[in-house]
Amino acid sequence: MKNNDIIYRESVLGALRSKAEQLFYTDADKRHPEGGDRTAQLLHELEIYELELQLQNEELRSSYAALEMERLKFVSLFNTAPVGYLILDNRGTISEINETGLQLIYNQGAGIKGKPLKSFIVDDSQHAYASFVERISETDERLQCEVRLKTKKTETRYVQLNGIKAPGTNTDQQSFYITITDVTHAKRNEQELWETTERLNQTLKVSLTGTWMVKSKGEKIFLDEYSKNILDIQNRAQLVPWKALLDILVEEDRPKLNALFSNCDESHEIDLELRLIKRNGHLKTILVKGKSVNPIYGSSYYAGIMTDITDRKRNLQLREETEDIQRRLLRRAAIEAQEKERDNLSAALHNSVCQILYGIRFNLSQLAKQESFKSHLDGINSLLDQAIREVRTISVELTPSILKDFGFVAGIKDMTDRLGRAGFKVTTSIDQRADQLPEETQLYLFRIVQELLNNSIKHSGTNSASVSLCAKNGEVDLIVSDAGRGLSSQLNDAFKKGSGLRGIKNRVSLLNGTMTIEDADGITFKIHLPKGV
């Protein structure tokens, strides 16, 4: 059977002959030769053949011009294309290559054609290239691979080869059409991205940090493996229903998570501390950080990290407790030093100054027996009695021996009696169970009452105050108030200026208590000491 090409050629030649005959018979001088004139018939055929050849020649010139035009277009496109083009013969030798391919393969134009492509490929990519050539020779499909090429410099270039098998000029040979694309920049970016990701993964792993993401108005949250480990979630799926997280959070922290998902469209940063209940019943504290991301395409979403800060919180709490203990020890040492100094001063006044005053009064009493000195010594004796009373009062205030000997209730009563004799009235309501408190607690409470009453005497502008103390179930409530002027400055300024108020605050802190101040219609100090002080 004739193939399509032969049939096409015969149809074209037949058309050209018909056209030649038409041209020949249109000439008025041409006539059909007589059937018996053999010479005329031959001339007739030769003339038709001549016209046919002229037409074929014109057709060939026209086809050649069109082909040349197409060839020039192809050559221009072939050489200026941003992608390298190569044609390899069946042995892998470069038979054709464009300018871009020349630059990609060896950065030079001389000596490329006629050389095998594999000679420009680095050793560690030879196996991949050989496999690529073998595969495209066995299939009609387009295949690709990545290899590294040698360059003039020490560095190598990553390229992507795309190839397909094509028949050669001879039926028993085949060639390969290859495109070569420089992917060095992409590979370096990929390598940098991989290294950055690996460093990030190692950092997240060491720091017990995971990543998360949730779409706006989404019902599920993306959690990586680190996040699921932190949350103690066994679900292998990366997308976890966010409502499942509510079940593992403590009830007080669930509104925080609800607020996070309900306000996903807002552009603000997230900084939350959430407590969750582990399967063993222990509490874990996690820190959730993130921000709203608004991509060019698609809806906004939240993305961030979460970190297990349980140990950090515990260590911080221990450090704060240690620092608090140290501060309390310092304050206790300072107060004990004050009390010791008070004892020393009280002893000095009682054992030294008072004894001297008693001796002076005794000697003066001996002189008073003489009538000539009696009138002069009466006034001196009165002053001495007053001095002795003042020294004894100072001594008692410095070290209230009655507090040590008879307890808190008696100490407060003695204090209020002495203030009453001086013209300052104190109304008291003291729970008898206060005497059962530890001695240190009684002393601190006594000093607090003493300082507050002294402040009332000095600054309130009134001559009365009230003291109430209740000791019940191991807890103590102390209230000291007056109806005077109150504080003349802000509370913080008062604590900065007044050493007495600072001393009260320190003592309350040492007893683990709390103090509130009401500065209206006078001033009221309310002090609460918890059980166990």
Predicted local distance difference test score (pLDDT) of residue 397: 57
Predicted local distance difference test score (pLDDT) of residue 518: 87
Given this structure, which CATH class describes domain 408-533? alpha beta
Predicted local distance difference test score (pLDDT) of residue 1: 44
Per-residue pLDDT of the chain (533 residues; tens, 9 = 90+): 445 555 555 565 566 556 555 655 555 444 455 555 666 666 666 766 777 677 777 777 877 777 777 766 666 666 777 788 888 888 889 888 888 888 877 655 457 788 888 888 888 999 999 999 989 888 888 999 999 988 766 677 899 999 998 865 554 577 899 998 989 888 888 888 888 878 877 777 666 788 888 876 667 888 888 888 888 887 777 788 877 788 888 888 888 877 766 655 555 678 888 888 877 778 888 888 888 877 777 777 888 888 888 888 888 888 888 777 777 776 667 666 666 666 666 555 555 565 666 666 666 666 666 665 656 566 666 666 666 666 556 655 556 667 677 788 888 888 888 888 778 899 999 999 988 888 888 888 888 888 888 888 888 888 899 999 999 888 999 999 998 887 766 555 555 555 678 878 888 887 888 999 888 778 899 999 988 66
Predicted local distance difference test score (pLDDT) of residue 347: 58
Cβ pair 261, 279 in contact under 8 A: no
**Per-position b or e across 292-304, b if 16+ CB within 10 A of its CB:** beeeeeeeebbeb
Cβ pair 270, 291 in contact under 8 A: yes
Predicted local distance difference test score (pLDDT) of residue 358: 61
**How far is residue 290's CA from residue 44's CA, in Å, rounded to a whole number?**
97
- Give me the CATH code for the 207-308 domain, please: 3.30.450.20
Sheet containing 464-472: order of strands: 425-430, 464-472, 475-482, 523-529, 514-518
Task: List, in sequence order, every beta strand (DSSP E) within 332-374.
Answer: none
What CA–CA distances, in Å, run from 142 to 117, 130, 145, 165? 18, 16, 11, 8
Task: List, in sequence order, every beta strand (DSSP E) within 406-509.
Answer: 425-430, 464-472, 475-482
Fold: same for 81-189 and 207-308: yes
Domain layout of the chain by residue ranges: 4-78, 81-189, 207-308, 316-399, 408-533
Q: Which CATH superfamily is domain 81-189 in?
A: PAS domain (3.30.450.20)
**How far is residue 339's CA from residue 357's CA, in Å, rounded to a whole number?**
25
Predicted local distance difference test score (pLDDT) of residue 526: 93
Please list the residues that pair with 308 across neighbouring strands.
Answer: 286
Predicted local distance difference test score (pLDDT) of residue 335: 63
| Chain position carrying tokens 């002393």 | 443
Predicted local distance difference test score (pLDDT) of residue 510: 79
**How far is residue 494's CA from residue 492's CA, in Å, rounded to a whole number?**
5
**How far is residue 357's CA from residue 380's CA, in Å, rounded to a whole number?**
11
**Helix/strand/coil (H, E, C) string of 43-58?**
HHHHHHHHHHHHHHHH
**How far is residue 327's CA from residue 333's CA, in Å, rounded to a whole number?**
10
Predicted local distance difference test score (pLDDT) of residue 28: 42
Predicted local distance difference test score (pLDDT) of residue 496: 53
